[in-house]
């Protein structure tokens, strides 16, 4: 069994500094964690690719969907991806999980804790943001799927979770 790399240990340290409980998988440069977001529970893993100093952070949430709803869901994710600067949405057809993935290549063996934290925040926020839209697709009756305007759906701001701290600013 090989020891954990400096890269994944720096990720574990960043998680610890943020107070996030995580589990380092033995013999692999992978960390697992779970987070409760506004709309969903997110399973997250961070995997270090040591030869190239890259870190991938992947957030997942279960979203069972019928075969008839797969095409509209995939279209929704493609449309959402057009507006992203970092990361991307995916749907794991085999496991029926909604996925957000973000990757960064670092200059040094010890990854920057601020960048790791930002990647985790991004994965959680984006997955939490897309979930209500995906659930609308999931719950739309099959005979109404053709009438669902996905572009307009993504413009609905009432479904976006509040930004942490902004709730205090409300009158």
Tell me which residue of 164, 149, 135 sits closest to 63, measured CA to CA: 135
Contact 102, 122 (CB under 8 A): yes
Which element (helix H / strand E) includes 103?
strand 97-105
Quick check: 161 and 37 in contact, CB under 8 A? yes
Place of tokens 């009432």: 158
Residue 99 lies in a domain: yes
The predicted structure's pLDDT at residue 7? 94
pLDDT per residue as tens, the chain (171 positions):
788 899 999 999 999 999 999 999 998 999 999 999 988 999 999 999 999 999 999 999 999 999 999 999 999 999 999 999 999 999 999 999 999 999 999 998 889 999 999 999 999 999 999 999 999 999 999 999 999 999 999 999 888 877 666 555 444
Closest CA to 7 of 121, 114, 124, 107: 107
Query: Which residues share a beta bridge with 105?
Result: 54
- Is residue 164 a part of any domain in this protein? no
Q: What is the pLDDT of residue 162?
A: 72
Residue-level pLDDT at 109? 83
Residue 148: predicted pLDDT: 95
Would 1 be classed as within a structural domain? no
Residue 166 lies in a domain: no
Residue 58 belongs to some domain of the structure: yes
Q: Smallest Cα–Cα separation from 64: which of 42, 92, 40?
A: 92
Q: For residue 29, give its domain range.
A: 6-159
18 located within any domain: yes
CATH assignment of the domain containing 48: 3.30.1460.10
Contact 66, 48 (CB under 8 A): no
5: closest CA among 37, 42, 51?
A: 51
Q: What is the pLDDT of residue 3?
A: 86
Please report the pLDDT score of residue 163 as a whole number: 67
Is position 168 within any domain?
no
Number of domains in the chain: 1
Residue 155 is assigned to a structural domain of this protein: yes
> What integer pLDDT is reported at residue 170 of this predicted model?
43
Residue tagged 């190239």 (tokens): 52
Residue 65, both tokens: 């969907």
**104 near 55, Cβ under 8 Å?**
yes
């Amino acid at each position: 069994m090989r020891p954990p790399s400096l890269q994944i240990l720096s990720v574990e340290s960043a998680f610890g500094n943020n107070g996030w409980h995580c589990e380092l998988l033995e013999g692999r440069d992978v960390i697992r964690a779970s987070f409760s977001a506004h709309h969903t529970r997110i399973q997250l893993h961070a995997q270090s690719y040591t030869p190239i100093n890259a870190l991938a952070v992947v957030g997942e949430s279960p979203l069972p969907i019928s075969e008839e709803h797969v095409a509209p869901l995939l279209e929704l994710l493609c449309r959402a991806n057009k507006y992203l600067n970092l990361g991307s949405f995916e749907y794991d057809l085999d496991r029926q999980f909604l996925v957000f993935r973000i990757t960064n290549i670092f200059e040094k063996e010890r990854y920057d804790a601020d960048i790791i934290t930002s990647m985790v925040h991004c994965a959680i926020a984006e997955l939490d943001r897309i979930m209500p839209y995906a659930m609308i697709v999931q719950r739309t009756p099959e005979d109404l799927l053709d009438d669902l305007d996905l572009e307009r759906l993504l413009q609905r701001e009432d479904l976006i979770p509040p930004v942490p701290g902004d709730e205090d600013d409300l009158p």
